[in-house]
Amino acid sequence: MKIAIGCDHAGVELKKEIISLLNNLQIESIDFGTDRSESVDYPDFGEKVSLAVSKGEIEKGILICGTGIGMSIVANKFPGIRASLCNELFTAKMSRLHNDANILVLGGRVVGSDLAKEIVRTWVSTPFEGERHCRRLDKITRIEENLKR
């Protein structure tokens, strides 16, 4: 598995820790920035990661901003993206089991690094259940396709 990761200035330190965790889990990460603590615009980095996942260039992504809300909004603008903001383990697990989330969003100012790492661990290790949930995801895909017209 390959994971794209990006953040704004509020997520730089947490991003470094998550990249280290992914390396320890033998998961390749592609860093889309930023590496600066000076203020940057989260849409710039959310777009890069979301586009790569939307195009199928990379299987999954992780985005981090201060609350995670802004990155969630950006990511979910892209076709085929199912970005889930997760601040605890239950939503991380369910976002994969039921929603086949392909981008995990974290609030760098909301969750501590230990919890964030557990969320990532849970998210990357939880498979999609499929079955009845496929029907629901198909409906989301139809909504996207209808909106394109």
CA 88-89-93 angle, 5° bins: 130
Instruction: Count structural domains, the chain.
Output: 1
Active site residue 86: no
- Please compute the mean of the pLDDT values over residues 24-45 and round it to a whole number: 97
Residue 17, both tokens: 């820790």
Active site residue 7: no
Catalytic residue among 86, 98, 133, 134: 98
- Please compute the mean of the pLDDT values over residues 43-62 and round it to a whole number: 98
Q: Which helix (H) or strand (E) holds 31?
A: strand 28-31
Residue-level pLDDT at 30: 98
Tell me the residue range of the domain where 119 lies. Answer: 2-148
3: three-class secondary structure by DSSP: strand
Contact 30, 85 (CB under 8 A): no
Catalytic residue among 7, 9, 65, 86: 65
Residue-level pLDDT at 149: 82
Residue-level pLDDT at 128: 97
Contact 56, 64 (CB under 8 A): no
CATH of the domain at 47: 3.40.1400.10
pLDDT band at 51 (very low <50, low <70, confident <90, very high): very high
pTM: 0.96
- pLDDT by residue (tens digit) across 97-131? 999 999 999 999 999 999 999 999 999 999 999 88
Closest-CA residue to 41 (of 66, 60, 13)? 66
